[in-house]
Amino acid sequence: MSRFQLFNGEYFDADEPLLTTSNRGVSYGDGFFESMKFADGRVLFLNGHWKRLERAASFLQLTIPDVLTERSLESMAKDLVTKNGFSAARLRFQAFRAGAGRYTPDQMEMSWSMHCEELPYSEYRLNSKGLNIGICRSHSINPSPQSSFKTSNSLPYVLAGIEARKQLWDDCLLLDQKGFVAEATGSNIFIVKGDQLLTPDLLNGGVSGVMRVVVSQLAGSVGLNLIQTSISEQDLQSADECFLTNAVRGPQWVAAFDKKRFFKRKTSAIVDELNRVCGLN
């Protein structure tokens, strides 16, 4: 269990309440977040996370404090993980607009917090029991300029998570307004068809995941040709393999979708290649 958290660069007890009801992240969802993995003394794929952080801040017109840079972010993350007594951890960086105001804010300065949760191991591991997933039918994803990063308004994913729990699924997929697959509740999705590795185009409304980029770059090394395209439910039914990805867990094998069952041979090879590239073997 975490004992310490960071708030604008200062340490506080992990359970100390730091936000008021007037906080703009709470009141208006005026902010964004980044989930990162810390292992082997570093934030994995730091540059990818930092670029997405910069892109989110720019779109939301948030001014990043001068003391917060790519390198200082990693340094503070390392100190936080060490101070909590962890060697591997899931990090959550939460940014929100400082100050007051209603819909129109009175300033553009970014405030931020960071906390961590211990991970049991440093390397990426393929889940031994495949995931059982379904399709979210209660609502769809609406593609927009902010779809590609993680805003503080996560209601579509919260509601999808509730639907998955009710259906006894491990996760569920969100569709865009045309009925194409966008992503899962907290992960991007890939399917394998023969020698092709397919993932939804970002125009379908999914997040531009850091691990999505990494896995896309690794496709060729395991004999797969990457294709970013619209994916239908029928494509899922005819796929050989299916897996979900995020920066913390890496690729997670999907065993079942409806009555369809999937293999995991290429998924396992991608996990092995990922650990090799990260030096986590």
The pLDDT score that the predictor gives to residue 22 is 86
Q: Where in the chain is the domain with CATH 3.20.10.10?
A: 131-278
- The answer to whether 189 and 253 are in contact (CB under 8 A) is no
The pLDDT score that the predictor gives to residue 1 is 84
Alpha helices in the chain (DSSP H): 24-28, 46-59, 70-83, 155-166, 210-218, 233-237, 265-278
Q: Which of 29, 23, 20, 7 is nearest to 152 (CA)?
A: 29
Q: Which residues of the chain have pLDDT under 70?
A: none
The pLDDT score that the predictor gives to residue 145 is 87
The pLDDT score that the predictor gives to residue 21 is 85
What fold is seen in the domain 131-278?
D-amino Acid Aminotransferase; Chain A, domain 2 (3.20.10)
**The whole model's pTM is what?**
0.95
Cβ-count burial 124-147 (b if 16+ within 10 Å, e if not): bebbeebbbbbbbeeebbebeeeb
What fold is seen in the domain 4-118?
D-amino Acid Aminotransferase; Chain A, domain 1 (3.30.470)
Distance CA 182, CA 230 (A): 8
The pLDDT score that the predictor gives to residue 20 is 85
The pLDDT score that the predictor gives to residue 249 is 97
Q: Which of 195, 207, 105 is nearest to 153 (CA)?
A: 207
Residue 45's CB: how many other CB atoms inside 10 A? 17
Q: How many whole angstroms from its chain centre is CA 132?
A: 19
Q: Where in the chain is the domain with CATH 3.30.470.10?
A: 4-118
The pLDDT score that the predictor gives to residue 33 is 97
Q: How many whole angstroms from its chain centre is CA 93?
A: 12
Tokens representing 249 are 């867990």
The pLDDT score that the predictor gives to residue 281 is 76
Tokens representing 119 are 């991970």
